[in-house]
Structure 1
Amino acid sequence: METVFTIRVAGADFHAHRQGDTPRAVFLHGFGGDLHTWDGVCSELAGAVPALRYDLRGFGRSVSQDDAPFSHADDLLAILDATGIGQCDLVGVSMGAGIALNFTLDHPGRVRNLVLISPGLVGWEWSAGWRSLWRPIVAAARAGAIDEARRLWWQHPLFASTRSSAGGQALFDSIMRFSGAQWIRDNHRLMLPDVERLCLLDARTLLLTGGRDLEDFRLIADLVAASARAVQRVELPGAGHLLHLEAPAVCARQLLAFLRATPPP
Structure 2
Amino acid sequence: MTLSYQVTGDGPAVLLVHAGVCDSRMWARQVEDLRTDHRVITLDLRGFGRTPLEAGAKYADAGDVLGLLDELGVEETKVVGASYGGYVALQAASRQPERFSRLVLLSPPADDVVPTDDFRDFAAEEDRLLEAGDLDGATELNVRTSLGPEADDEARELVRVMQKHAFEVQLAAGDVDNDEWEVGGITAPVKLFTGAHELRFFAACAEHLSNILPAVEHTELPWAGHLPSLERPDETTALIRAALG
Compute the TM-score of the two structures, normalised by the length of structure 2: 0.87
Q: SS at 2:220's partner residue?
A: strand
What percentage of aligned pairs have identical amino acids?
A: 26
* Contact kept? 2:151, 2:230, Cα under 8 Å: no
The CA RMSD over aligned residues, in Å, is 2.5
Quick one: structure 1 residues 209 and 132, their matched pair in 2 at CA, closer, same or farther if it must change by over 3 Å? closer
CA 1:180–1:22 in 2, change beyond 3 Å: closer, same or farther?
farther
- Say if 1:152 and 1:213 are closer, same or farther in 2 by CA, change over 3 A: closer
Cross-structure match for 1:208: 193
Partner SS for 2:28? helix
> What does the per-residue CA deviation read over 1:126-184, in whole Å, with 9 as the maximum and x for residues that have no partner?
234423322342343345443333233223x3434365576333322322332444457
For 1:9, the equivalent position in structure 2 comes to none
Q: Tell me which amino acid in the other structure corresponds to 1:52.
A: I
C-alpha separation in 2, matches of 1:112 and 1:52: 15
Question: Unaligned 5+ residue runs, structure 1?
Answer: 1-11, 261-265
Output the CA distance in 2 between the equivalents of 1:125 and 1:183. Answer: 27
The equivalent of 2:4 in structure 1 is 15
Match of 2:142 in 1: 153
From the superposition, tell whether residues 148 and 210 of structure 1 become closer, same or farther in structure 2 (CA, over 3 Å).
Answer: closer
For residues 241 and 98 of structure 1, the distance between their equivalents in structure 2, rounded to whole angstroms, comes to 14
Partner residue of 1:177 out of 165, 178, 188 = 165
Cα 1:27–1:247 change in 2 (3 A) is same
1:256 pairs with one of 229, 233, 241: 241
Contact map agreement 1:28 1:92 (CA 8 A) in 2: yes
1:217 aligns with 2:202: yes
Q: Render the CA deviation track for 1:47-70: whole Å, top value 9, x for unaligned.
A: 222201011110111013552211
The TM-score normalised by the length of structure 1 is 0.81
Cα distance in 2 for residues equivalent to 1:146 and 1:166: 20
Q: How many Å separate the matches in 2 of 1:24 and 1:182?
A: 30
Deviations 1:55-106 (A, max 9, x none): 1110111013552211110111111111111111111000000111111112
* Residues 197-241 of structure 1, C-alpha deviations (whole Å, 9 max, x = no match): 4xx432111112222221100111122223321122233211111
Task: Identify which of 203, 207, 220 aligns with 1:235.
Answer: 220
- Cα–Cα, structure 1 residues 59 and 222, in superposed 2: closer, same or farther, change >3 Å? same
Aligned residues: 244
